[in-house]
Amino acid sequence: MYNVSASSEVIRGHRRLLARRDQEPRVHRTVVLLGLTSLFTDISSEMVVAVLPLYLVFVGGFSPLAFGVIDGLYQGATALVRLASGYIGDRWHRHKDVAAAGYGLSALCKLALATAGTAVSAIGAIVLIDRIGKGIRTAPRDAMISLSTPPEQLGTAFGVHRALDTTGALLGPIAAFGLLALVPFGFGTIFIVSFCFAMIGVGILVLLVPRGRATAVKDPTPAPAPSVRGAFGLLRQRRFTAFVVAGGALSLATASDAFIFLALEERLDLGTTLFPLLFVGSAGTYMLLAVPIGRLADRVGRGRVLLGGYGLLLGVYLALLAPLEGIALAAAVLGLLGAYYAATDGVLMALGSAVVPDELRGSGLALLGTATSIARLLASIAFGALWTLTDIETAIACFVAALLVALALAAATLVRSREPLHVR
């Protein structure tokens, strides 16, 4: 329960932040409510993610190796679903319903976990359905955020959403381990409480978020329902394609944070108890910087901030190679990593939102999100292979080179795409 009060603290904090300067526009209520939905959903899912390996090993007697097999299902399961749900949301103007179905499906999975026992096949199936739920909700939710926000505030709006989302990701593990301290080995209780948090998220979305595009955006001229061809036709649109290419290229040079944490751990000799603190450090930075950097992006240009963000990632790589030690190394890497997330994750969606027509918003953001996540998956595989074949320094050095190339390519693409159209 302390989570509920803690999170409302956070909201009040954000409200204050947003209301402080009167000349600064406030983000739309829908954005804050969707942020809260994500916050509770993330508390719920991160609670489970934090304890699922322990659960399988403790109660099921499985080795983490068997868990790795399950975890492999996580990857890639969401790409196609995300595209479909983005399109369906566009086609029938039902972003909210599609998103609610995704959040609801994931919530039900938490209940299923509480009753499934420890059969690996059952847990594998539940985890898969949970990820499908995530795939379903992402694109329509981002479409709703962007459709309820005037174009000049998109960066701020996504920043507010991501800040709330990350708050949930930080609170989830705390809630899970707090519960484990209270009820030793009470995994069933964790799943039920996780289900309750997920339902609160669903409740906010279904009961409080306004339906459709009841917003102050433009005049709501009813557009014809888009076709699949129309959705993919986005890829012929030059500015949009530029973002997909730039985002994809940059993602191909992105080492997943799991690898960055492992590399950092090698240097710091932390031990497993302090390992989760690395996540807290970077996610905390992300949470704090998401709104200010989103606002900065609205002011100085989102493309610039996106490229700057990947410059920060370059800084992460270089810090890992630099002769830094201890606290200085941890602070540099985690601070840069958190700032990199704040400057890229929501900003890319804001960039995409500004060029995709309203009626194709879900499909467009889904295409963009899918392209970058597939690229990131490929990058993870490449990084893992490099690390196995050589050593961590070589792997990072290769990614430094790749990122420099990607930055140059992305900068060229973004600059060139600007010529025919001048959108802010």
Q: Which is nearer to other proteins, 284 or 384 (CB)?
A: 384
Closer of 261 and 340 to other proteins (Cβ): 261
Rule CB under 8 A: say whether 284 interacts with other proteins: no
* Closest to other proteins by CB, 139 or 179: 179
Interaction of residue 217 with other proteins, rule CB under 8 A: no
Least distance in angstroms from the C-beta of 131 to other proteins: 13
**Which residue among 12, 15, 68, 401 contacts other proteins (CB under 8 A)?**
68
Task: Please select the residue that binds other proteins; options are 39, 67, 103, 281, rule is CB under 8 A.
Answer: 67
Nearer to other proteins, 25 or 186 (CB): 186
CB of 381 to other proteins, least distance (A): 10
Could you give the CA distance from residue 127 to residue 49 in angstroms, rounded to a whole number? Answer: 10
* Binding region for other proteins (CB under 8 A) out of 20-28, 90-98, 171-179, 349-357: 171-179
The nearer residue to other proteins, 13 or 64, going by C-beta atoms, is 64
> What is the nearest approach in angstroms of other proteins to the Cβ of residue 206?
9
Handedness of CA 201, 213, 130, 117 (dihedral sign): positive
SS3 state at 316:
helix
Mark the segment that binds other proteins (CB under 8 A) among 200-208, 319-327, 348-356, 359-367.
Answer: 200-208
**184 belongs to the binding site for other proteins (CB under 8 A):** yes
Q: Phi/psi at 93 (nearest 5 deg)?
A: 50, 45
Selected range binding other proteins among 140-148, 254-262, 287-295, 304-312, rule: CB under 8 A: 254-262
Work out the burial of residue 180: count CB atoms within 10 Å of its CB; fewer than 13 is exposed, 13-18 middle, 19 or more buried. middle
Own/partner pairs for 355-359, CB < 8 Å, 24+ apart? Answer: 355/237, 355/239, 355/240, 355/243, 355/421, 355/423, 356/234, 356/240, 357/223, 358/147, 358/213, 358/217, 358/218, 358/223, 359/90, 359/223, 359/224, 359/225, 359/226
Binding mask 120-149 for other proteins (x = CB under 8 A): xx--x-------------------------
Residues in region 374-403 near other proteins by CB under 8 A: 380, 384, 388
The dihedrals phi and psi of 92, each to the nearest 5 degrees, come to -110, 15
Cβ of residue 290: shortest distance to other proteins, in angstroms?
20
Q: Does 279 sit near other proteins (CB under 8 A)?
A: yes
For residue 159, give the nearest of 169, 145, 171 by alpha carbon: 145
Binding letters toward other proteins, positions 22-61, x by CB under 8 A: ---------------------------xx-xxx--xx--x
Q: How many residues does the chain have?
A: 424
Judge whether 313 and 236 are in contact, CB under 8 Å: no
Output helix, strand, coil percentages for the chain, rounded to the nearest 5.
Answer: 85, 0, 15
**How many residues interact with other proteins (rule CB under 8 A)?**
63
Closest separation between CB of residue 384 and other proteins, Å? 7
What is the DSSP secondary structure assignment for residue 201, as one 8-state letter? H
Amino acid at 214: A
CB of 274 to other proteins, least distance (A): 11
Cβ-based neighbours of 378, under 8 Å, separated by 6 or more: 252
Residue 422 CA, distance from chain mean position: 29
Min dist. Cβ of residue 253 to other proteins (A): 18
- Of the candidates 142, 124, 34, 43, the one whose C-alpha atom is nearest the C-alpha of residue 85 is 142
Cβ neighbours around 245 below 10 Å, total? 17
273 near other proteins, rule: CB under 8 A: yes
Residue 327 within binding range of other proteins, rule CB under 8 A:
no
The site for other proteins (CB under 8 A) is made up of: 1, 4, 49-50, 52-54, 57-58, 61-69, 71-72, 74-75, 120-121, 124, 173, 177, 179-186, 188-189, 192-193, 196-197, 199-200, 203-204, 207-208, 256-259, 261-262, 271-273, 275-276, 278-279, 380, 384, 388
